[in-house]
Amino acid sequence: MRSKWKFSLLLLSVLALSATAACSGSEAGKETADAEETGTATGNVPADGAKSGGPLGKYDPPITLRTTLTDKAKDSLDAGDTLENNVWTRGYERELGIKVTYDWIVEGSNAGEKMNLTLASGDLPDILAVNQAQYKQLLEAGQLADLTEVYEQHASDLVKQFYAMGADGLQPTKQDGKLYGLTYYSGSYDTSPMLWIRTDWMKQLNLDPPQTMDDVIAIAKAFTEQDPDRNGENDTYGLALNKGLTSGGDINPTGFMNGYHAYPGVWLEDESGALAYGSIQPEMRTALAKLRELYAGGYIDPEFGTKDLSKSAETVMAGRIGLFFGYMTSPFAVSGMMKDGSEADWLPYPIPSADDKPALVQNNIDYGEIFAVRKDYEHPEALIQLMNFQVEKSYGESSKSEAAASYFGKEGFAPVRLLQPNKNIGIYNHVVDALEVNDPSGLNIEETSYYDGIQSYRGGDRSAWWFERIFGPDSSQSIIQHYIDNDLIKLNEFVHPSTDTMTAKGATLGKLELETFVKIIYGQDPIEAFDQFVKNWKALGGDQMTKEVNQIAQ
């Protein structure tokens, strides 16, 4: 899921897990006290990993497990805690009988390189947190444990439920019917594009919300030509983009292109039933031609090709832009405008269609890290138990206890973790229901924080505006609910590790795509350059990539 635009959304569950306690003497009393303190009962698991102990069983005698950690959350540590000794590591040892040790801990920007060095050394930790390329390397080298049986035997019901939400969350780590890893599966709903418009400008110019893409273009023209900020200067533009286009994060044209039934960067089924790359389809040519037309008319920020996401956001917050295509987190990109005395406001709208067919919005499932086990490690089920533990503490029955607060918001330094996929739409529905009856008593810790934030905004705190626009009645999540209710979501249909050609040629083809699209929009190349781009893309590896994609997806 953008550094400062990202935020951690944690804690929601309706499912309880059960386990049994079996121990003796004074040690039994200690374990029972631990279980009562944290809200989780535990059962003994023999050192051979027998499944009789349940998903949260405890090793007796304890085991030691080697892994690594990317430092993403040091600032959220409790006083006196360290990344090596904190609520998670102590919980693993106390409740699971697993002592976690780290071969290394590095900053996020150095994690990929550090793991590559580890893989090259041949001295692998017991549990690995790797990217898809590294996972593929390990799998092809026969260095990963088969987790098929241990997952079925040891994974909790809640973990299995999470991996089945909206798609097969384990698809990228399956090969020949066997499972070799757990994904950091986030679901897809929050990747849905939507249109954000300055509603104070719409009111100033007496404009109605857009129903078609032609309406969007008309609004962009009005925001450029009719002085919506009433400062008497010709200093506003309709649409913001950033130089990365569809790969550049927020404020990008993906939603615009979806309105023309074009789907950049994803693989979708064509009329023959085969998977085809969205960026080379005829609909993309149409969408680029429209963007080129808007740019030529002066309705797009003329300097977008030199601005990354941060610089584009600065232009928006400077009050020079009236609309952009973004995502559910877009309020963070413009929250700096929400100051006392400012009348600026933004509302999200569904992507309208350019014709009589409904506009479908593309969703990309982000699997993030892959958690795997080195081959021949004697306790492969320990990975599953660590995952069970984190999911239970964050979302299970024990998350409702007072002790759950010690785990809340600290998943970033759990070495194995999974947030509830697509959970934000549930939070939205719960919060809106509570707002309607003015009663937050049924909300959990996280939901209550958003409810309180919305009430704070409504009470005059402009800095809390983002709570309203992400989880309130007129929010980004309300647009996602609209997409769900009307079956308007189109999923990327290739959810496997990169093919050989993707690994070898993907960066080159991506650069070719970006450069071609920017030049077409800028008017440096004619629209016919798209046709040559398609030919070049295919010849430089695209055809082979397409062949590999379809072989794997069969």
DSSP 474-535: SSHHHHHHHHHHTT-EEE-S--SSPPHHHHHHHHHHHHHHHHHHHHHHHTSS-TTHHHHHHH
Quick count: other Cβ atoms within 10 Å of Cβ 549? Answer: 22
b/e burial code for range 154-189 (CB count within 10 A of at least 16 → b): bbbebbebbbebbbebbbbbebeeebbbbbbbbbbb
| Phi, psi (deg, nearest 5) at residue 505 | -120, -5
121-178: per-residue pLDDT in tens?
Answer: 999 999 999 998 899 999 999 999 999 999 999 999 999 999 998 788 998 899 888 9
Q: For residue 42, what pLDDT is reported? A: 38
Q: For residue 405, what pLDDT is reported? A: 77
How far apart, in whole angstroms, are the C-alpha atoms of residue 375 and residue 180? 10
pLDDT of 328 strictly over 90: yes
Q: For residue 16, what pLDDT is reported? A: 28
Q: What is the dihedral of CA 227, 228, 230, 232, to 10 degrees?
A: -10
* Residue entry with tokens 């904190």: 86
How far apart, in whole angstroms, are the C-alpha atoms of residue 443 and residue 428? 11
SS3 of residue 70 by DSSP: strand
CB within 8 A of 346, min separation 6: which ones? 196, 197, 198, 199, 330, 331, 334, 469
Q: Are the beta carbons of 82 and 74 closer than 8 angstroms?
A: no
441-455: per-residue pLDDT in tens?
Answer: 999 888 999 999 999
* Residue entry with tokens 């030199």: 306
pLDDT of 43 strictly over 50: no
DSSP string, 182-213: EE----SGGG--EEEEEHHHHHHTTPPPPSBH
Do the bridges between strand 178-179 and strand 361-363 make them parallel or antiparallel, or are there none, so unpaired? unpaired
Q: For residue 22, what pLDDT is reported? A: 31
End-to-end alpha carbon distance in the chain: 28
Average pLDDT across the chain, whole number: 88
How far apart, in whole angstroms, are the C-alpha atoms of residue 274 and residue 267? 10
